[in-house]
Structures are given as structure tokens and as C-alpha cells.
Structure 1
């Protein structure tokens, strides 16, 4: 207990947090916020824009393997977690690969620095799969966490995406107050447009004028959106399309399945 308390105090020190900020700023130089991949989307949509995407993708690689990652924590010990990685077949949204690891996290949760707590174990799961040389290694990564929609514009999805060098989308369940954006403002926007059932996506533009992400009503009539943001090597437009394609429920299926299976893993180990 004394060691854990010492680690908690140490990780909250200004010196270490300044070091983490320097690491974020350094990694951010490699971040790509536009489409940078060889695959295409080929799933049928109802709108003409998506139809154009389908026509243009008749040749070449298609998006088939989408990965979701998430961590669930023990209810009795917040330092113990199960990290889970799943890969889904994009055409069926069925899980075709999964792996989990129960770990003790020595870095406490500190707002703005989630990646330093969660990224190492998630990267290990990705690296483990990569070493197996499986054909289902993901073409796209979806993260339960924010990307550019972050106080310093470099959330967990960006951190993982840059280090794994994968196109990555951040999916947040809650909105952090960034660049003047607040929960109440987004809620007002959703309520004002509630009568327009065709309007399910709203670009989130901060006080600086930058588009930081999008709020999406993923289930009909919902005023509790998910928050989509660019992680790495993908544009916000494409990130929104992928989120729409992968939503059976409120949360995109890759992340939902990772969450379900990480909780199941904890239960199997008697930790939940």
C-alpha cells in the first residue's frame, strides 16, 4: 500500500507531467489527420456520397478487419484491469479474433494523460497479434477514448494510432470540455434538432474555429451521443462513416465487444 501511494504521488508530480506533455508534443508531430490508407469502404449506404465511395472501391483493397480495444477495471482494486483486443469482420461485424490480458496498472488515472496508463498494455496486445503474422491483423483501430478531441489535441486514440502506425478512430462516451465545447452546449444543439430525424451528426467546432470531432446520435431518437474524433491516418469524414457502419447499438460494435469481453474476463478471474 505504501509503494502504491508513493507511485501515485510520483506520477502526479509536475516534473513528470511536464515530461509527459513533451512526449505528447513529440508524438503529435507524426500525427496525420487525413485519410492515409490503401483500403476502401464497400458497404452499401443509402446516401449518394457513400454510393460514390462504393463505386470508387470496385478495385483495390477493401476494409475488412476492424479492431476495437478497451480496458475494464476491477471493482475492488482500481489498479487491476483487463485489457481486451478484438478484431471484427467488417462485412458481418462478427468477432474473428480476441485476446485479453489481466494487468496491474501502476500509473494512476490523471485527466489528459490516459494514454500513459492504458496505451502500453494495448500496444502489447497489438504487437502480440502482429508477431503471429495473422492475415486478420487490423487495417483500422477503434479506441474507447478521444483523439483530437482532447485538451492538448492528442488523446489516447492519437497516442495508440501513432505508435502502432494504424489508421485510428477515437470514440468517446462523454465529452471533455475542450476549446469552449461543453456538455450543455452539445445537449442544446441535439435538443434543437431533435425533430429532424435525418440530422444525426454534428461537427464539434471549438472556440478557436477548429473542427475537433463530431457528436453522433447512433440510435434513433437518442439525445445521448457518442463523440467521434480523429486518432491517426484518417479524416473526420471517414471516421464518421466507419462509426455509422459499425453501430448496432449506441457504441460501435468493435468497442462494444471489447468492453463486453474485458468485463467477462474479469469475472472469470473473480475480479468483478
Structure 2
């Protein structure tokens, strides 16, 4: 009954993205290992794991997808997963609950990120773990950093909204749902609010925030609000990307993206490996 109520509540937000999941075209599926992870959200999370292309891995990166029918396939389709593997990182892709091949339960998406991250750490216990998220995946990854026992040492977050209302205010029915949730279930709304999580981060993960100058959904000014919430709490870098639309910094500036993101991961995960 509870899950049915959540599915009805979620439909105005995500209903158009609930479609049968398909592999992106021209993918060598044999390179990917399928995993299923139990989340404290109650969902069975579908994940894909692939090894680094290098002889020795530098670390492992969890990829948290934006909203869309492609779900975890976003990272394969647009080349992020291959970029990371070529750079020496194991990668795990996963579907947030209700997306792709994961079952649909509550809206406790940070718990899905947490569960997937812990599963990735279990696969590679000797390696440092990072998370790279886009849009919804980025926002929920930041909220996961406020969860105890998260494994993330580094986070690269692109197009993360500062609050749910910042993203959904242009859509009347979702906006009303969020406003009602703030009244009826304020703790639930807070758990999905990145600016709230920013005050309560566990550990001291290194953060890189990325925002596109052509992003109409999470504009640079929204990124600056999130940066302001993080300042004084944790070391945070901010990259404003010319010409980049929502979640597409890599497509807009591929060379610069590779240098910035891989350089950030290499630098801070190396520090983590040396410290351990």
C-alpha cells in the first residue's frame, strides 16, 4: 500500500521516464557485469560494473544518472563511463529506484546512492571510492554525503539543483506536491534538499561542482546558491562551462572536461591512497 501511494505521488514527477530499459546502441555488453543491490529505500537496485582499461586501477567511481529514460545508460551513451575506464577507474552505473530496471518504492533516493556506493566499495575494498552525478543524480549524491557510513572520498556533481523547488517550480503539479510535502512530511523534503545536506556532510569529501552557462534547468545562479551553502563547510571547486546545456558539459567541452574531472579525481584520490 505504501509503495502504491509513492508510485502515484511520483507519477507527475517521473511518469514520462518509466519505460522499459534498453542498452545504448553499439555497446559491448560482455564488458559489463550485472549486479543487484538492496537499498534501504526498499528497492532492488539494478547496476552495471565494468573494470578499468588500465593494468592497475586508481579507484572506483559510482555514476548517478539524471532523470531520463536512458537512466544508467546515460553514462555509456554520452561517453563518461569509457572516459573514466580509459583513465584508470573501475565504474559502476545504477538505476535510481523507479528508473531503468530498478524497482519503484519510496522517494528516498539518497539511500539508493548510499547502497550502490557501499556495494561498489565491497567490490573494491582496497580502492578509494568517488561519486559522479548529474542533475537528479548529483543532487541525491550530495544528500547521500550526509548519510552515515557513506564511502565517498570525492564527489563530482554536475547540474545539481539546490532544492527540489528550484528545479520543479516551473511544473505546477510537482511544485504543489513539493509544497504539500514540506507541510505534511517536512523531514522527507529536507532529506532531498541539497542545501540542507550541505550543512551536515559526513567526513570531508572533496567536491567539484559543474554548471553549464546554457543550462536552463539548473542555471549557474542556482549552482552559486549551493556553493554558498557549502562554503566554510568543505573544500569545493566550481567550474562554469561555456556553451554547456543541462548535464552536457562533457559534450560541450570534451577536452576541458577530461582534464578537469580526471585531474580532480587523480589528485584527490591519490591523496587518499597515500593517506591510507
TM-score, structure 2 length as denominator? Answer: 0.34
Work out which of the two has the higher radius of gyration on C-alpha atoms and give 1 or 2. Answer: 1
Name the structure where helix makes up a greater proportion of residues. 2
Specify which structure has the bigger relative contact order, considering alpha-carbon pairs within 8 angstroms and separated by 6 or more residues: 1
